[in-house]
A = this chain, B = another copy of it.
Amino acid sequence: MLTKKGAATRQRIIDAAADEIRERGVGAATLDDIGRRSGTGKSQLFHYFPEGKEQLLMAVAEWEAGQVIEDQQPYLGQLTSWQAWHQWRDVVVERYRRQGVHCPLGVLITEIGRHTPAAQAVTRQLLEQWQRQIQAGIEEMRERGSISRDVDPVRASAALIAAIQGGVTILMSTGSADHLEAALDLYLDYLRADAPSYS
């Protein structure tokens, strides 16, 4: 376990590494630069990340994955009204439009090795956490009678995660958010259709 001060130092290193990587690319970000930027010496860097750059990259990937969720709050965590769903939809589109063609997390996953267990664990955890929050929103809306009982929360949240993932991938290769927006809007239409409160 890290002390509070230790955890803060570790986080400062991760923040500095994330900034270096976002600005200069993962190949150009050296431990020296990261140490300088975070105001920590090499011995401290190796205290927190004894296995070196690879271990640090994993920590940064986990942090970037956390940011993906964080950036969607507070909406994602409380999808309990149609207003919240639509605000969340707008935040997602805006976040990825701003991010454009370069995904900080994607860069790290590629560097760590897309098919390595470590990289897959980061991706899997992110998708699970994301999907769980959407699923909770669908369940809550079903309870309230705003979404039909015919909608399966597990499958619908899985489908929504796939649609976002695909829309973002296409945005990253074309620069256009059209697919992402269409995918989100159709799902919202799907979720709103046949709701008891509509019939």
Contacts and interface: CB of A to CB of B under 8 A. Distances in A.
A168 B164 CA distance: 12
A193 interface: yes
Interface in A115-132: 115, 120, 123-124, 127
Interface string A171-199: 00110001110110111011001100000
A127 B186 contact: no
Contacts of A185: 155, 159
A127 B182 CA distance: 15
A187 B155 CA distance: 12
A161 interface: yes
Interface residues of A, number: 35
Contacts of A120: 173-174
Interface in A79-120: 101, 114-115, 120
A137 interface: no
Contacts of A166: 161-169, 183
A26 interface: no
A31 interface: no
Interface in A59-88: none
The A interface, classified by DSSP as helix, strand, loop or mixed, is helix
B182 A155 contact: yes
A156 to B, nearest CB: 6
A116 to B, nearest CB: 11
Contact of A170 (B115, B161, B174, B183): B161
Contacts of A169: 165-166, 169
Interface in A140-166: 155-156, 158-159, 161-166
A167 to B, nearest CB: 4
B124 A186 contact: no
A194 B198 CA distance: 13
| 8 smallest beta-carbon distances between A and B, as pairs | A166-B166, A165-B166, A162-B166, A162-B183, A158-B182, A159-B186, A162-B179, A159-B182
